[in-house]
Structure 1
Amino acid sequence: MGLNEAPLLFNFEVASSENFTYIPMSVRFNLDRFGLRITLEQWQMLPLEDRKLLARFPVEEDAEIEPNFDHALFEMLRTHANIEPEWFTPEDAPAWRRTDAVPDGVVHQAGLAGLPTPRVAQWAELEPFKRYVLAKLSRKPESNHDFVPAMKEFGTAG
């Protein structure tokens, strides 16, 4: 599978990414999938076209489908910032992969937003990438401004 024709952005991200000033969820997914960490400052050192290219990589869980995200990121950071991303060991079984329970963080964020918690059946029907996004947006205890728009976009806000 090759790159997507256009950067993968959800509707709720178009405004919040501010033309790729902030790291889109598709790039966050691939960073987490490959066990790579970059700072917002490092992201912003990359030319806009490189940031858009990184957002075109597929978001399937199988790292064999598109193994070049990590290589592309390393090359871009070396070329434009003379740095390398930090490595970490990805979680073996993150909560978003489970389809038999809604993660606690998502339950908490829904409560903060005054939204009903997605039913387990709704959660299970979501594409894995959308489950990842909701879990990622709900990892901190305080309210996330993108959580409600994401819930609405994914059809889980009620």
Structure 2
Amino acid sequence: MIFNFESDFAGSLRCIPMVARQKLDLCGVKLSLRQWSRFSREDRESLTTLSAESAEERGSYRDLVLSLIAAKTDEPPKFLPSESFEGWTAPDRMPEAVIRQAGTDGVSPPTSAQWAALAPLQRFALIKLANSKHENENFVPAMREFGVLT
């Protein structure tokens, strides 16, 4: 699934779509945009569409990512620290980063009910966008797309 707010850059798979970023986080691999760009279109489509829900699927996904990095890039793999995914898997607690980013953008954050009603991938996207170290132009469009901004 490619969100509308990312379709201009992720639809072509030249950037890593949120659905793939979530799977990479789940399997603990940090993939750079440079590495992603070295993969074939088919490789990128696979990383976007393959499931990583079960522990077995996450292991297979991780193995695939590591093999692609080894075969197609001249960079070693980087791993993410083991972390909790409560921010996007817990519908009852909105992370402070989302509230802070909404304030920075001059919009109201999602209400508790709206946050709880979001799909895990939507919560993941808002958290990633709120924690982005780059200028964040997609946070408000994502909120609007997810129906939490009136």
**TM superposition score category, shorter chain reference:** 0.7 to 0.9
The question of whether the paired residues in 1 share the 8 Å contact of 2:69 and 2:75 is answered with yes
Alignment match of 2:103 (pick from 111, 114, 133)? 111
The question of whether the paired residues in 2 share the 8 Å contact of 1:123 and 1:131 is answered with yes
The amino acid across from 2:110 in the alignment is P
- State the shift of 1:83 in Å: 4.3
Residues 128 and 102 of structure 1, relative CA distance in 2, 3 Å threshold: same
Runs of at least 4 residues of structure 1 off by over 4 A?
none
Structure holding more helix per residue:
2
Percent sequence identity over aligned pairs: 34
Residue equivalent to 1:125: 117
The question of whether the paired residues in 1 share the 8 Å contact of 2:23 and 2:58 is answered with no
Could you tell me which runs of 5 or more consecutive residues in structure 1 were left unpaired when the two chains were aligned.
Answer: 1-7
2-structure distance, mates of 1:135, 1:47? 28
TM-score, length-normalised on structure 1?
A: 0.83
1-structure distance, mates of 2:69, 2:133? 31
Residue equivalent to 1:79: 71
Aligned runs of 1:3-152 on 2, under 5 Å?
A: 8-17=1-10, 19-58=12-51, 60=53, 62-65=54-57, 67-140=59-132, 144-152=136-144
1-structure distance, mates of 2:135, 2:95? 15
Could you tell me which runs of 5 or more consecutive residues in structure 2 were left unpaired when the two chains were aligned.
Answer: none
Count of residue pairs the alignment pairs up: 150
The question of whether the paired residues in 2 share the 8 Å contact of 1:74 and 1:84 is answered with no
CA RMSD of aligned residues (A): 2.1
